[in-house]
Structure 1
Amino acid sequence: MATDDISSRTRSRANDLLVYGQRQVDRVVSPPTRQKAYNWVYDFSIEKPILSSFVAFQLALSLAPILLFAGFATTTIAVSLISALLFSLFWIGIATLFLVPTLFITFSIALFFWAWAAATFFAGRYVYGRLSSGADGDGKVVANSGEKKIIFEKKNGKNNDADFDAKAEATEVKE
């Protein structure tokens, strides 16, 4: 009874494998197209039996070397791609060992220059605020005279003229 059970399971698995294989073949080549090819091969073998037997022997004996060559070529390409990838990753890793310290140095230099520029800006703004005169955003010249601010504007509104009129005077300046 145990042998019948094993035999039936083996037949069931073989049948499942056959059905799976048939589904995969159907996905690649549809059954009507396959049937057309079978009919053409059958008609060809009936019409020209000597030529069809020659082609069959050539195909049967040459198929193994062709498949072995195709497998070798595929394997060679796969190995070369993997080798190229590993070679590239190795040298990219070596380059990274140079890149990281270089970036650290350039970052440090850039930080130093930025800090110097920011300090210069704030120091200049501080000194500019303490000067006795300066220009505001509208192109007016503002002169500090103790506790009074005098605002001068250009005559005629021309940028080339250096001629100014006193337009306003503020008595108490709070800063």
Structure 2
Amino acid sequence: MTDTTDTMPGWFTATELDSLRGRMPILYVNAIPVRVDESGGVTSVGLLMRIAPDQTFTRTVVSGRVLYHERVRDALRRHLEKDLGPVALPSIPPSPQPFTVAEYFPTPGVTPFHDARQHAVALAFVVPVTGDCQPRQDALDLVWFTPEEAAGPAVQDEMADGQGVLVRQALAWMGHVP
């Protein structure tokens, strides 16, 4: 028997994806790019600048769907390359372990995470990168913040839909209590 399932990005039409989003949770990965020193301590956190659907500027982490028949590790690599460029040089272990699981709901307030389009479950990872990062796709910019800046009110106020909570959780997981 031949498998004819198309696993390339866009394998659902926009209408089909909207229908699925209304009926079942969709699996995502969230990646927080970091720079580390020679002892493995985090020196900076990379956050993207995007234009939100309401046309405001917002800071976000790398994020995207896991496609059918795609390993989580491969999804991480694909989204990091899509958002940070092909020479970001992410260090993803052979068997990546998330620091948390973020549940995004279309109803605000169920969890700190909100996505008006859907119920989504995101495996969240901290990923060290060593290469030159150049934002691509719909990312306008990438700014590297110290852990203290990333957890501070100025940056947190620029993050929506629970992204700031996710960054603070990542920092706590890495030993930087915000």
Question: Normalized against structure 1, the TM-score is what?
Answer: 0.16
| Structure number having the greater helix percentage | 1
Question: Normalized against structure 2, the TM-score is what?
Answer: 0.16
| Structure number having the greater strand percentage | 2
Q: Which of these two proteins has the greater Rg computed from alpha carbons?
A: 1
